[in-house]
Each structure stands twice: as C-alpha cells, then as structure tokens.
Structure 1
Amino acid sequence: MTLRTARTGARRARSLILATVVAIAAILVGVLGHPLWTASSSLASLPTPAEPRERLEGAVPDGVTVFDDEFPAVTNIEPDLLSALRQAASDAADDEIEFYVNSGWRTPAYQDQLLQEAVSEYGSEEEAARWVATAETSPHVSGDAVDIGDDDATAWLSEYGAAYGLCQIYANEPWHYELRPEASENGCPPPYADPTEDPRMQQ
C-alpha cells in the first residue's frame, strides 16, 4: 500500500464516520422533534423550586411594595384595602415616597408563631397582646390589615391616608393600617392605645 493510498483510505473512513453521525443526528431530530443542540435551552422551562414555606405563610422579605403581586402577603390582602393602598402609593410616589410592606396577610399558623415569639420577647402573654393578636382575632389573618414600613410612608399616610380610607388603628403601632371607607368623609376614628383596647381582640 502506498502512502497516497493510505491517506485516501483514511479520508474515506473519516467521511463515512461523519456521514453516520449526521444520519443518526437527523434520525434523533425526527424522533425528538427538535435539534439536539437546543436541548439545553429546555432547562430554562423547568419548574422553579417551591417558594419557601415562610413566604407562602405570609412572611415578607425586605423591599416588597404594595405592587408586588408575587408575594402572598400582598396578593391576599383584602381587595378593597389593597386597591386603596395602591392608589395612595401611586400618589405618594409624586413625593418620592414608596409604600413597603413589612407584613400583610398571614396564615393562622404564622400568626401563632409570631404570637409565641412575642411572648418570648416580652415575657408574658399579657404584654405580648399589646403587639400581636391571636390567629382567631388578628385582622392580618383575614387580610384586613397591613404594616407599612419606612417612616416617610407612615408619616405620609398619617397626613393623607384618611382621604383613601386608610387609618392607623393603634397608637402604639404607627405602621398598622386598615381600611375605614367612611374616613374619606368623616376622618379616621381615634386610634386605640394598643390592641388590648380593641373590642375585636376580646373574642
């Protein structure tokens, strides 16, 4: 065998291998319905991991606003309250103020957890009750309350919130707001000193 013959044979072998690979790829494309080189792109469509349990129960990370629909603590707020919050937030934005949500809707289990943490922090159920309600009485569980973060936002609501029906309910919690539709005409009612004076908490 000459050197030229050997080289020719090698080229033919490589061509045969390449043709075989192309043929196999073509068959796979026909079977799978898409090119092999796009398989990796399908990874992007895989389901994302489940949300953390705490978030699903109403916990809120820093930086969440009243417009963030991906958080149950926001989307499960009572619709009229959420609408009023968003209208007020849109107007407050003209003053470069954002409405961050420290807490909104909560599950009963999460509310119970917060109450137990408050008992540990304050040393007794009586003192904890001035800050955290039970799952049976908390307006957060029903989606009827929101805790607004940032002092500028609560100061803005203190001055203008009544026009939207948004009222501070407890004197010791300047961040806690609920909807009182009649406030747009009559102003907000005087706040309770703390939740222990709220008749709803006596159930």
Structure 2
Amino acid sequence: MTWSSEGKNILKLPLFVDNYCSTQDTDSKLDAGAVIVLVLFALLFTCTILETAYDIFLEYAGKKPTHAICTAFSMYSNGKKLLKSTKYSKAGEQVFCFHGMKFISMWWIISGHGAISMFLAPALDYEFRSHWQTQRYAQYIASAHICVDTFFYISGFLMAYLYFKQSISRKSATKQAGSVPMMIIHRYLRCGIVKLNTL
C-alpha cells in the first residue's frame, strides 16, 4: 500500500503547509522601511571603514585626532578598548567588556525565565500566547535562550587568550600554532573515553 498526497486524509490535517515557502521572487521589491534600513547600514559601514583607516593613519603618523567623533566608529580604537585587560592587585587580570556582556546576558536570561513561567500557567489563554509569540516586540523574550551561548563564548575566549598569552612568551607563534591540533586530539582522547564509558 502506498501513500500519496491524493490519498485519503484520515485525520483531516493539512498534508503540506506552505506558509514558510519562499522563492527568488518572494519579497523581491523593497518597501520604504527596507530601503531606509539598508541606507542606514550602508552609512554605518562606510563610517566604520573610513574612520578605521583614518585612525590607523593617525597611529602610524604619531598624531591625535582633531575631534573624538573622528574615531567614534573606528574598529581599531574600539577594539583596543573592548579587549583591554588591566591588572589589579587583588582581582587579577580582567577583560572589562565581559562584565557588560555577562550583566546583559544574566538579565536577559532572568526575563526569559520569567516569561516562560508566566506562559506555563494553566489559566493563560492559548490563543493570546500563540499570537504574542509571532509579534516582533516579543522576540527579545522569545530569543532569550540564545544569550546562554555568551557564557560558552566567554569561557572559550578566556581559555584561548590566557593559553596563548602565557605560551607565546616561551615559544614562537609558529610552534604554538603547530601544537594546537595536538591539543585538540588530546582533549578528545581525554574527554572522549570518559563519555564513551557512560554510553
């Protein structure tokens, strides 16, 4: 017995839902809002490229910018500020931008858990919940689970940052890059055997 789309639909359910299907012709025309957003992103990208080039030129020329706005979008200056690490006598070395990332992520996770616990209440109207989840203003709560990845990123970044910072002073960069595959193999052998035993 074979089933086909022309066969009898016993459960009266749609066999094919094309709500999310798209082709090359879908949304091929840009509306006014899309044009405004594209222009803003193009201006931001242009400012970033020009101010980064200007900032690097000033760095090599040994000059200072005429005004702070001239390097406000510079990836060079902002990158140095974001990845600046400072030594404290008690707390040790810190990368300051991670404090802000952790603060925002923690509050985002808390608000997401608050919304989930509210939606799990038995008295909640299911129709309202289904409608609310499709609205744009609800996406900051609906996507709160993504910010958990922030902590994975921070832990991986700090591990690599501290490893290379301590090791490059003892070995050359090429030797360090060559030892990275062996580190990965060692990690898989060390953790893989333990995980295989639990299966």
The interval holding the TM-score normalised by the smaller chain is: under 0.3
Bigger helix fraction: 2
Higher-Rg structure is: 1
- Of structures 1 and 2, the one scoring higher in RCO (CA 8 A, sep 6+) is 1
TM-score, normalised by the number of residues in structure 2: 0.18
TM-score (norm 1): 0.18
